[in-house]
Chains A and B, each alone.
Chain A
Amino acid sequence: MTQAIDRPKTKTLQSSTFTNLKCRECGTTYDLGAKHVCEECFGPLEVAYDYDAIRRQVSRETIEAGPNSIWRYKAFLPVATDDPIDVGTGMTPLLKANRLARRLGLKELYIKNDAVNMPTLSFKDRVVSVALTRARELGFTTVSCASTGNLANSTAAIAAHAGLDCCVFIPSDLEAGKVLGTLIYDPTVMAVHGNYDQVNRLCSEVANTHGWGFVNINLRPYYSEGSKTLGFEVAEQLGWELPDHIVAPLASGSLYGKIYKGFNELVKTGLVDEKPVRFSGAQAEGCSPIYQAYKEGRDFITPVKPNTIAKSIAIGNPADGIYALDIAKKTNGNIEAVTDAEIIEGMKLLAETEGIFTETAGGTTIAVLKKLVEAGKINSDERTVAYITGNGLKTQEAVSGAAGEPLMIEPKLESFEHAWERANTLNRLDWQQTQV
């Protein structure tokens, strides 16, 4: 550990840079409360900023001198406090993936590795750190969420750290690691007999009647802004330059849109030079409503019932689906889908070439990256970033059986030698098979 446990405070003399909530559809503005839906047209509310104020407050140097967490970008985030909840979230490695790049036929590939984001090993810690900081500011004492697993882990953990009461809702069929990884923080866990979309609807109804801060419902405008830091960090880690092409998983479509917004905000505030960035999105075939709409040239999403091992991105009724479609089209990107078998191969490929054990969502992203390169939809000389958003230790069920077995031996040299010879023979056969 290189950092103190009592993390340095993010004290600044900056004033707030966010001004109001604004409907993305009709432009109606609202005050900065716990509200996510436009009362006029039901459109999503989004946080608006004073970019001139941000431009005056930050420079590359002030950001680089800030905390080693998402809070180095506090001027771009919708919280007023000088003392946000900082549990070390963000500033995850941007790994130059040379071996995977060679395998795929790319010249310059990077992995943004949120499989090791803190404290709960997924990108969700970014959005939850922002949401719970804002929840505290707005006076909530109980926080909640509808989750496919990672968000429940993160909300429960960061609520524990912040001393907030917590009640989370998950589908009852989640992977064991994701359930245990929530229960350990001692929230109330509601395991709902239904899929994520049903959990989400139930939570919208609960949010109507209970005065709780639901991070991805009534706090959603604040929460979702946390994902912009995935755009900010990649640009900073590339030496304050934007990449040529990014590939990210699509569940609700929110993360994808916020990376786009993050890049644009850096351009708007003069921190990076403007350049086109192509945005490609990854879905699992068993839950691919955004891909289906993209393929059929529709500008609306038809919901589906999920059936895939990629449970963390199994959202059949994606809230930001239409915005994701729009971004893919206007950036000359693509949206692609892969089978469960391809997802497992994607997880293995990333592990074997780069030493990163990602979950099924990451397997989806790598499998789609591979598919797009093979189809010539990512050029070999594009500087490409693939976003890995979760950790494979949480979804062990998906690859157990696909990753092989240990060789069981006796504590004797002879037993080892015998097994070693056998393993090498098997490896050789494998190798010969792939040559055929």
Chain B
Amino acid sequence: MAVKVLIPTPLQKFTNNEATVEIGGDNIVGLLDTLESKFPGIKARLCDDKGELRRFVNFYVNSEDIRFLDGKETALNDGDEVSIVPAVAGG
């Protein structure tokens, strides 16, 4: 199973400057672990010391903010698109 992940500019140095990667994961928590195993160091940028998602990072699954879904537990299906977007934009 693979989902497409859009990587924001500040994290592309972990992904060999790739803006999108295809990886597996049953939910957002699983996706973070897979990301970390493939691109060591990336998880610490996305999560704080307690493992919670940093407050200035937003995750979207198929364009929907995961805070309107099941948060970190939001399930992922084959072919889903996950977008990681800095929260600080707009206005």
Contact = CB atoms under 8 A, between A and B. Distances in A.
Interface of A: 25, 36-44, 146, 194, 196-198, 200-201, 203-205, 207-209, 216-217, 220, 224, 251-255, 300, 302-303, 305, 315, 317-320, 322
Contacts of A217: 89-90
Contacts of A252: 90-91
Contacts of A200: 89-90
B91 A39 contact: no
Given A205-B83, A220-B89, A39 B55 contact: no
Interface of B: 6-10, 12-13, 19, 45-46, 54-58, 60, 63, 65, 67-68, 83, 85-91
Nearest to B44: A40
Given A42-B45, A201-B63, A208-B6, A315 B56 contact: no
B65 A208 contact: no
Contact of B56 (A43, A205, A209): A43
Contacts of B6: 205, 208
Contact of B91 (A25, A42, A253, A302): A253
B14 to A, nearest CB: 10
A42 B89 contact: no
Contacts of B88: 36-37, 42-44, 220, 319-320
Nearest to B60: A201
Contacts of A315: 90-91
User: For chain A, what secondary structure do more than half of its interface residues adopt (helix, strand, loop), or is it mixed?
Assistant: loop
Contacts of A320: 88, 91
B89 A146 contact: yes
A220 B91 CA distance: 9
B45 A204 contact: no
A204 B86 contact: yes
A37 B10 contact: yes
Contacts of B56: 25, 37-38, 41-44
Nearest to A316: B65
A217 B10 CA distance: 13
A253 B9 CA distance: 24
Nearest to A319: B88
Contacts of B85: 201, 204-205
Nearest to B7: A208
30 contacts: A36-B86, A36-B88, A36-B89, A37-B9, A38-B10, A40-B45, A41-B56, A42-B10, A42-B45, A42-B57, A42-B87, A42-B88, A43-B88, A44-B56, A198-B63, A204-B86, A205-B6, A205-B85, A209-B19, A216-B90, A216-B91, A220-B89, A300-B55, A302-B67, A303-B65, A315-B90, A315-B91, A317-B87, A318-B91, A320-B91
B58 A317 contact: yes
A123 to B, nearest CB: 12
A42 B67 contact: no
Contacts of A201: 58, 60, 63, 83, 85
A322 B55 contact: yes
Nearest to B65: A303
B1 to A, nearest CB: 23
A319 B67 contact: no
A318 B13 CA distance: 27
B38 to A, nearest CB: 19
A349 B56 CA distance: 39
Closest 5 CB pairs of A and B: A252-B91, A42-B56, A200-B90, A44-B88, A37-B86
Given A42-B10, A201-B60, A205-B6, A319 B19 contact: no
Most buried by B among A40, A201, A204, A220: A204
A40 B13 CA distance: 12
B54 A41 contact: yes
A217 B85 CA distance: 11
Given A216-B90, A317-B65, 19 more contacts: A36-B86, A37-B8, A37-B9, A42-B10, A42-B57, A43-B88, A44-B56, A194-B63, A196-B90, A197-B65, A198-B63, A208-B19, A216-B89, A220-B88, A300-B55, A303-B67, A315-B90, A319-B87, A320-B91
A318 B55 CA distance: 12
A27 to B, nearest CB: 14
B46 to A, nearest CB: 8
Contacts of A146: 89-90
A339 to B, nearest CB: 23
Contacts of B58: 201, 317
A28 B27 CA distance: 32
Given A25-B56, A42-B54, A302-B67, A208 B90 contact: no
Nearest to B8: A208
